Structure 1
């Protein structure tokens, strides 16, 4: 259900097909029926030979582990805790953490990196149990979610058992009442020797760490770097990060975080866990699972093609039937796609991979440089994942507005409809850019903009499509056979069925001229608002229409939706006013919320939200009646006194709210101020920021900020004075005409006189 949308209901199970084909390649997979008869799919296991008992012995790593455990038997608390470790790497990591705890000295952050299934969370849990034994009072644990800490808290309790702590007698457990956290442990109170606490906190609650003795950051690379830096302080810090697997974020993000910490804090190199607990070294099952779910797609290959000019690069459509066909070349191409996506986003999971393969509304594009070698896989610069949305029925719209019932998918239509109550917008056809990921070595070089520009041109119909006489695309995915032969269930015999790849695999990459685009009214995107992303989308003429008032609990960012109308024909240009109406309403709401939900925005982001070159918002001149409604005569006098340097700026700070409101509402068309002056006016007047706060934000001394503030108020006061003077001049002109009219008499009376 989560893969379907209102207009796209037919799910193609490409992921299951690839799964079944991959099982045939796994040399340790055996498929049997109810009678335990081996199916033909497991033909590779027909030659399984028993392992000789002599070959089953103790490995070198196990011998080292036994020696380490033996050496620490009489060294509490290290001995009991290390005895719980399963690998030599894990035991060494726990011993290093315990050494750091025993010294009780402030050190740079100690980091731990590991792949999936290496015992990272267990090692951190045992280290926390050791910290309690050493007398640490306030121990804080943070991660993207309490659910990420289930294993960590489990091994804290196992560590307590090894140290002979008794529940209810020596410690009590407190679980979360939030249904989203599934009763996860969020606090442990220890009362054995003195009062000690192990407490979970959110990454955004760094201000609560003033009394911390030890901070544990799990999945540190999944937390934005500014938040991690904000949590560092005058206490011991241990952090861990998964570098691959669905819990991981990619080696590039982990290395970026760790290298930044080493540079800023002089942190030692990270402790590495390489030996697997779940699998033996070189286990084919682990290799199969890693390949199937692309768990190891964390190292992005360096490109050998250099840096081609963005104008020389072309966008291609990726046929998902070919991409997930389990062909050798397709698998290599899929790994490259996933590696670029992983390196560009904080969170990835197998669910994302399955949605990429099966969701009927999703499509993939990639930007490639000039292809010179036809016998090699092309090197990918940018990957774009698009989801088609909209075309929602009238009945579904009525159910949504009347009863709050929303269908699956269609993120942009439902949010915009809820925001503006527009019953017509969901009927439009749109495409949401789910992700646009650039190769990490080629970011900020114009490749992302080039890919997005070509994507817009494609949906605008600017690429000449090779079509047949009926106007249909020659290689349209919907008209192509997928190479699967349909057979009735009664004709299938599991003992005789042969599972093989498709007979006809379509072309993996298609030029945009080889596929007919879907007719669209707009392209949209939804992302966590940052200044850099806002500038990028604005540069491509996207317009903000929605901004959530609630921050994301992990990143602290507000979700933003931006739209770009698509005009494939001249006849449809007259219908583009809807985006202007949305933006005008959006600006009006933002102006009112800048002092509330959005007061923490930088003035640069706030100002950027209000201004957009893609939309021409008409400004109008200020009227005397508006001045009389907003300002008292004494208020104007205060402004004039400040401009003439008779009073200090604090005496007029209350008037900046009214001045900023009039200016940014477009009611002072004749007033022109600089960008920095706009930012200062917006910060003081709408976000209620002090001059001292603006000094920190702009990295400017107070005299320069006050000088810009003075120039801004001087220009606005001069504009108000001009409006009032013009009003007085107009009034005097009318009065003079009336005065002249009082002395006039009829012509007949004059002649008689």
Structure 2
């Protein structure tokens, strides 16, 4: 007896038949409502009072409870789980519902209620393989999980072989999932070409066209988790929709249809008047259609973007045998080149005709044609089914866009083709649990003036604003988002060259002064203490969000590894604890803390460096001397100096030989005294000397003599006194 039974489906309305049969079973067991069991209806207006719970009290308390597919965390006490219309639920969500309890998976794969073949193609095959592995590893054991598959092929609405059922299946392409064509060969993606599909010929009910349509729908059903006959109606009647197929090299000698490798369906959007955009913003209501222009206008309050023309990729489907081989990438590359005008040869006549012809929106053209007035009859002059892109003129577009449920694989695919996000819904889908994501890729167009050399063109400022808003929402709406997906959305620059770091360090004037409003000296001291392993990481948890926000905005040019940046994102932006990160990143606690302290050391080193430079710039400095080279050579300089010295010596010698200056050294003319000495009988001695009477007075002689003696005497007195002192 199972006490806790949970049932899930895309909507409670899908379980209406299930709960009806449960109540009929209670009637067969003679259970009475309000006595043996109670039925609980939903109070949600969207569920239209559908049954969501049955409480049973007959023998012991039992509960049959409805949960939404993404609420897998509520399955801790479940004993039996029933998943109805499982193919309408994305595979990752279905896999999260599986666990150590009994699980029933049911889904309608054919008919107008059929939702797709992804469940049978992927999950059921995987479960069957795992069951065989368990049986081989655990022989003779009943503890291993077993997988049993039951198919019900008998129609519940028609008799066996009813021609009405066959006609309906052929008309709405409902039975194509069982007849997916095989591919004869897989050519290299570089050898494949993209062709435009003429929808008039495709839906002409011609034999070959009908077979081609069945193959296209088979790819749709096989590759997408949710399909309906409305998809066929959009392909046939929507005036803004266009179809493209990727084909391998076509051998015209063989009269057979080529293999379809990939199908792309696009919808032309935009060309909305500015008046309509302003009215939509003032009313707060988005008209139907034109998803990307209206959402862009709402998010950025921009009324110019809706006037641009663009194309939204509605669906891209690849053959199941050609998955992950590069065919979808090749198709998107060719589609981008086509809308950029690189594949279509434009003649001068076409250019002139295009300038003269007025531009009419496809929706306005569709309103001018009434289906009630159209004469429906078989056509004989049908154009070619497939048109090479070089033979068809492309519409003038400014951008390509996509809207999808956000998953890591899908986002990486579009990111690889240079699509950037501008919107991610904060509320996940109640059916899939995924956030709606819209991405954009600007095309090369000469009609839009772009300031700067940004790779994103006119979309650059909007993309930067989106990343800023997304980083702020990581602590609330996207707190539980997988860190790999959050890192892919933010796409931070984590590798800075030395030149980049030096430029970022010197260019932002006053960066440290602006940072003082967020980081105080005490914060820097705590950061320093933690980087020196003197404190626990809880001491700086309040600083980490500030540093993380600045880093992911590109204001802190620090080189990190991808894992280090992921740790910073989880702690700084998502405010996650270490236990949560251990489960998400599959790392030990010590490894996470080791990565975290390395990041903090890099932050402290960088901040300390810019703080030092900021302080040094305010200190007074000596004026530096500027050395300028001489205008003359060294040899000329030496010759000029030698000439100056020589001229100076000549001038000095001329001054010394001046008669007026030499007069002071002249000997007084006393030849008369000499002659008198000789007459008076003086004789010259053997030494050659003769005595001549001096003309100086005795007073002069005594003065000199006394002065000389007194000098000697004073000297002697001083020496005698010193001797006396030494003796004493």
Structure 1 residue corresponding to 2:20, chosen from 150, 154, 160: 154
The reply to whether residue 644 of structure 1 matches residue 532 of structure 2 is: yes
Residue matched to 2:555: 667
- 1:128-277 paired onto structure 2 within 5 Å: 135-264=1-130, 266-277=145-156
Q: Please state how far the C-alpha of 1:577 moved relative to its aligned partner.
A: 4.2
The reply to whether residue 407 of structure 1 matches residue 295 of structure 2 is: no
Structure 1 residue corresponding to 2:582, chosen from 682, 695, 709: 695
CA distance in structure 1 between the partners assigned to 2:335 and 2:124 by the alignment? 36
Label 1:571 to 1:598 Cα distance change in 2 as closer, same or farther (>3 A): closer
Q: Secondary structure at the match of 1:695?
A: helix
Q: Please state how far the C-alpha of 1:232 moved relative to its aligned partner.
A: 2.9
CA distance in structure 2 between the partners assigned to 1:369 and 1:501 by the alignment? 31
Unaligned runs of 5+ in 2: 132-144, 355-359, 363-368, 624-728
The reply to whether residue 555 of structure 1 matches residue 432 of structure 2 is: yes
Structure 2 residue corresponding to 1:295, chosen from 171, 174, 189: 174
Q: Secondary structure at the match of 2:517?
A: helix
Q: Secondary structure at the match of 1:638?
A: helix
- 1:690-729 paired onto structure 2 within 5 Å: 690-729=577-616
String of CA shifts for 1:331-384, please: whole Å, max 9, x gaps: 111111111111221111001110111111111101101112541111111110
8 Å CA contact 1:367, 1:380 repeated in 2:
yes
Q: Please state how far the C-alpha of 1:531 moved relative to its aligned partner.
A: 1.3
When the two chains are superposed, the root-mean-square deviation of aligned CA atoms in Å is 3.0
8 Å CA contact 1:389, 1:410 repeated in 2:
yes
Q: Secondary structure at the match of 1:271?
A: coil
Residue matched to 1:118: none
Q: Secondary structure at the match of 2:175?
A: coil
The reply to whether residue 281 of structure 1 matches residue 160 of structure 2 is: yes
Residue matched to 2:219: 340
8 Å CA contact 1:302, 1:441 repeated in 2:
no
8 Å CA contact 1:252, 1:298 repeated in 2:
no
CA distance in structure 2 between the partners assigned to 1:349 and 1:489 by the alignment? 25
Structure 2 residue corresponding to 1:654, chosen from 542, 553, 558: 542
Q: Secondary structure at the match of 1:354?
A: helix
Label 1:559 to 1:389 Cα distance change in 2 as closer, same or farther (>3 A): same
Q: Greater relative contact order (Cα 8 A, min sep 6): structure 1 or 2?
A: 1
- 1:4-153 paired onto structure 2 within 5 Å: 135-153=1-19
Q: Secondary structure at the match of 1:654?
A: coil
Q: Secondary structure at the match of 1:384?
A: strand
Residue matched to 2:718: none
Label 1:624 to 1:220 Cα distance change in 2 as closer, same or farther (>3 A): same
8 Å CA contact 2:512, 2:614 repeated in 1:
yes
Residue matched to 1:514: 391
String of CA shifts for 1:43-73, please: whole Å, max 9, x gaps: xxxxxxxxxxxxxxxxxxxxxxxxxxxxxxx
Q: Please state how far the C-alpha of 1:685 moved relative to its aligned partner.
A: 0.5
Label 1:591 to 1:489 Cα distance change in 2 as closer, same or farther (>3 A): closer
Residue matched to 1:376: 256
Structure 2 residue corresponding to 1:449, chosen from 322, 325, 329: 329
Label 1:487 to 1:450 Cα distance change in 2 as closer, same or farther (>3 A): closer
CA distance in structure 2 between the partners assigned to 1:318 and 1:487 by the alignment? 23
Label 1:173 to 1:516 Cα distance change in 2 as closer, same or farther (>3 A): same
String of CA shifts for 1:601-635, please: whole Å, max 9, x gaps: 1222112211279xx99976471112311112122
Q: Secondary structure at the match of 1:696?
A: helix
Q: Please state how far the C-alpha of 1:263 moved relative to its aligned partner.
A: 3.9
- 1:466-615 paired onto structure 2 within 5 Å: 469-471=349-351, 500-569=377-446, 577-611=457-491
Q: Of the two, which has the highest radius of gyration?
A: 2
The reply to whether residue 627 of structure 1 matches residue 507 of structure 2 is: no
* TM-score with structure 2 setting the length: 0.75
Label 1:194 to 1:646 Cα distance change in 2 as closer, same or farther (>3 A): closer
Aligned residues: 585
Q: Please state how far the C-alpha of 1:690 moved relative to its aligned partner.
A: 2.2
CA distance in structure 1 between the partners assigned to 2:244 and 2:373 by the alignment? 40
8 Å CA contact 2:442, 2:458 repeated in 1:
no
Q: Please state how far the C-alpha of 1:169 moved relative to its aligned partner.
A: 4.2
8 Å CA contact 1:253, 1:343 repeated in 2:
no
Label 1:487 to 1:718 Cα distance change in 2 as closer, same or farther (>3 A): closer
String of CA shifts for 1:402-424, please: whole Å, max 9, x gaps: 11232221111111111111011
CA distance in structure 1 between the partners assigned to 2:584 and 2:372 by the alignment? 68
Residue matched to 1:97: none
8 Å CA contact 2:12, 2:51 repeated in 1:
yes
8 Å CA contact 2:88, 2:116 repeated in 1:
no
After TM superposition, the structure 1 stretch with the greater mean CA deviation from structure 2, 658-667 or 569-578, is: 569-578
CA distance in structure 2 between the partners assigned to 1:659 and 1:317 by the alignment? 51
The reply to whether residue 397 of structure 1 matches residue 277 of structure 2 is: yes
Structure 1 residue corresponding to 2:195, chosen from 286, 291, 316: 316
Q: Please state how far the C-alpha of 1:268 moved relative to its aligned partner.
A: 2.2
Structure 2 residue corresponding to 1:358, chosen from 237, 256, 264: 237
Label 1:278 to 1:300 Cα distance change in 2 as closer, same or farther (>3 A): closer
Q: Secondary structure at the match of 1:630?
A: coil
Label 1:190 to 1:685 Cα distance change in 2 as closer, same or farther (>3 A): same
Label 1:447 to 1:233 Cα distance change in 2 as closer, same or farther (>3 A): closer
CA distance in structure 2 between the partners assigned to 1:251 and 1:317 by the alignment? 26
CA distance in structure 1 between the partners assigned to 2:5 and 2:240 by the alignment? 46
Q: Please state how far the C-alpha of 1:514 moved relative to its aligned partner.
A: 1.8
Label 1:403 to 1:728 Cα distance change in 2 as closer, same or farther (>3 A): same
Residue matched to 2:141: none
Q: Secondary structure at the match of 1:298?
A: helix
Q: Please state how far the C-alpha of 1:558 moved relative to its aligned partner.
A: 0.8
8 Å CA contact 2:91, 2:119 repeated in 1:
no
Q: Secondary structure at the match of 1:541?
A: coil
Q: Please state how far the C-alpha of 1:187 moved relative to its aligned partner.
A: 1.8
Q: Please state how far the C-alpha of 1:572 moved relative to its aligned partner.
A: 5.3
Q: Secondary structure at the match of 2:619?
A: helix
CA distance in structure 2 between the partners assigned to 1:252 and 1:584 by the alignment? 37
Q: Secondary structure at the match of 2:151?
A: strand
Q: Please state how far the C-alpha of 1:320 moved relative to its aligned partner.
A: 0.7
The reply to whether residue 463 of structure 1 matches residue 325 of structure 2 is: no
CA distance in structure 1 between the partners assigned to 2:578 and 2:604 by the alignment? 20
8 Å CA contact 2:247, 2:262 repeated in 1:
yes
Q: Please state how far the C-alpha of 1:648 moved relative to its aligned partner.
A: 3.0
Q: Please state how far the C-alpha of 1:160 moved relative to its aligned partner.
A: 2.5
Label 1:674 to 1:209 Cα distance change in 2 as closer, same or farther (>3 A): closer
Q: Secondary structure at the match of 1:242?
A: coil
8 Å CA contact 2:86, 2:119 repeated in 1:
no
CA distance in structure 2 between the partners assigned to 1:525 and 1:208 by the alignment? 33
CA distance in structure 2 between the partners assigned to 1:322 and 1:250 by the alignment? 26
8 Å CA contact 1:176, 1:184 repeated in 2:
yes
CA distance in structure 2 between the partners assigned to 1:239 and 1:667 by the alignment? 51
Q: Please state how far the C-alpha of 1:586 moved relative to its aligned partner.
A: 0.2
After TM superposition, the structure 1 stretch with the greater mean CA deviation from structure 2, 139-148 or 253-262, is: 253-262
Residue matched to 1:416: 296
8 Å CA contact 1:224, 1:555 repeated in 2:
yes
Q: Please state how far the C-alpha of 1:512 moved relative to its aligned partner.
A: 0.7
